[in-house]
Chains A and B, each alone.
Chain A
């Protein structure tokens, strides 16, 4: 059972007068919840791997029932892609590899994959399905675009100035420098190494980029930083985001702070439209997401475009392309890459 689909505790105190390390807020809203086990084991120890016997006490509420059923649905979707054996980011692979996985039984997906191929999307770079795949894919594609930019020096300088500015924004919404600087430095160092030799004298290559993203510490540090940027953007612009913040499983409206703490800051929590909008704005990068859901008309694939930057320069450089399948994101390598 993946922790990242576990649901809905109402609370997470990130902050408090004396000790704040998270974004600022007023009173601590703590209620850490422990439920009575629903009709089944609630506590599973990994040591034995076996569930404890069901508790005789159950206090089942309607909410819990809803939680559990949506949970298992989400879980099924996730299981399709969750695979700890898979590298955090894999080598580029032809899209036919993906097609082969759908050939037995999913003609509508196959049709959509053929459509993508006909549009020049010939390869994919897979991300591990660990709930961080959106952020990891964006980060990888972001640096890869710098690496392959027509003029990397200018691209890197622009990226660095955008990224540097984000540290101020994080502080302005109450993130302490201490909690983000180590993560920021990993990303900054990587971006710099596109044009400037690093400590060991080498310049970033495609192989080095892949290696960095396969190294859990570096890869996860960058993911954490992008989560913080996403969270900060949502907090900075309540007018634009507040109307769209809903609990992903229960569908109930959520407060900005709760939403960010539960579904943005916490690692392993999937991204949805709101997070994609926020992140693309924060890093000023256009992101196109191809929806491979078996539902396109005539086997076509719908592209949802996040275009925070409509300047001519932005239009001149290729957007980050992601391939979405229910519950998962990978990187799509397109005709402009």
Chain B
């Protein structure tokens, strides 16, 4: 029996192929059910005009019950957006990727969420603990327990 994760991902992929991605989001690679890559741009006015980022999704067998591991790609000249919730190693501090993940979400929903996270950014800077975090960060961002809270900044 195929796993629930590959069944679901097959459906998501078919929907992407049939209906396309939302504006500013493009599927770059989805050759299997373990790693997908997208490019993401913010449309309209924003602090990220003319910047394009690559987003990596890694899925385990429990997807979509467990969240995908999502991060920006920072190899081969690609960089993570400078944003208060994005570390320079590409890891993202977003509650929907952690304790507020819900199987109701999909890969595209995550892309759109992150796109609007960038779109609404008011000041480009790294998280305050960037250097410390990056130095000790696990390879997989899902192994990090971020502390989420109201943005009072």
B94-153 CB contacts (< 8 Å) to partner A: 94-96, 98-106, 108-109, 111-113, 116-117, 120, 127-129, 132-133, 136-138, 143-153
Q: Which residues of B contact A59 (CB under 8 A)?
A: 152-153
Q: A266 to B67, alpha carbons, bound, how many Å?
A: 10
Given contact pairs A10-B150, A33-B95, A179 touches B144 in the complex (Cβ within 8 A): no
Which interface class (under 10, 10 to 19, 20 to 34, 35 or more) fits B?
A: 35 or more
B95 pairs with A32, CB closer than 8 A: yes
Cβ A9 vs Cβ B150 within 8 A: yes
Residues of B contacting A183 with CB < 8 Å? Answer: 103
Find chain A residues with CB under 8 A from B144 CB: 43-46
A55 at the B interface (CB under 8 A): yes
Q: How far is the CB of A143 from chain B (nearest CB, A)?
A: 19
Q: Determine whether B65 belongs to the interface, using a CB cutoff of 8 Å to chain A.
A: yes
Instruction: Say yes or no: A19 contacts B148, CB within 8 Å.
Output: no
Question: Is the CB–CB distance between B136 and A262 below 8 Å?
Answer: no
Residue pair B95, A265 in contact (C-beta under 8 Å): no
Known interface pairs A45-B137, A46-B138, A182-B7; A22-B150 also in contact (CB < 8 Å): no
* Neighbour of B22 across the interface among A18, A23, A231, CB < 8 A: A18
Residue B30 at the chain A interface, CB threshold 8 Å: no
Task: Give min CB distance, A9 to chain B, whole Å.
Answer: 4
Q: Which of B8, B62, B109 contacts A216 (CB 8 A)?
A: B62
Whether A137 sits at the interface, judged by CB under 8 Å, is no
Please state if B143 and A9 are interface contacts (CB–CB under 8 Å): no
A3's partner among B99, B104, B138 (CB-CB below 8 A) is B99
A267–B65 Cα distance when bound, in Å, is 8
Determine the chain A residues whose CB is within 8 A of the CB of B151 once the complex forms. Answer: 31, 33-35
Residues of A contacting B64 with CB < 8 Å? Answer: 179
Determine if A3 and B106 form an interchain contact, defined as CB atoms under 8 angstroms apart. no
Considering the complex, give the chain B residue whose CB is closest to the CB of A33. Answer: B151
Tell me which residues across on chain A come within 8 A of B3, comparing CB atoms: 217
> 4 closest pairs, A vs B, by CB?
A35-B149, A18-B22, A32-B94, A42-B147
Chain A contact residues, CB within 8 Å of chain B: 1, 3-4, 6-23, 28, 30-38, 42-48, 52-53, 55, 57, 59, 61, 63-64, 67, 175-176, 178-179, 182-183, 186, 216-217, 220-221, 224, 228, 231, 261-262, 265-268
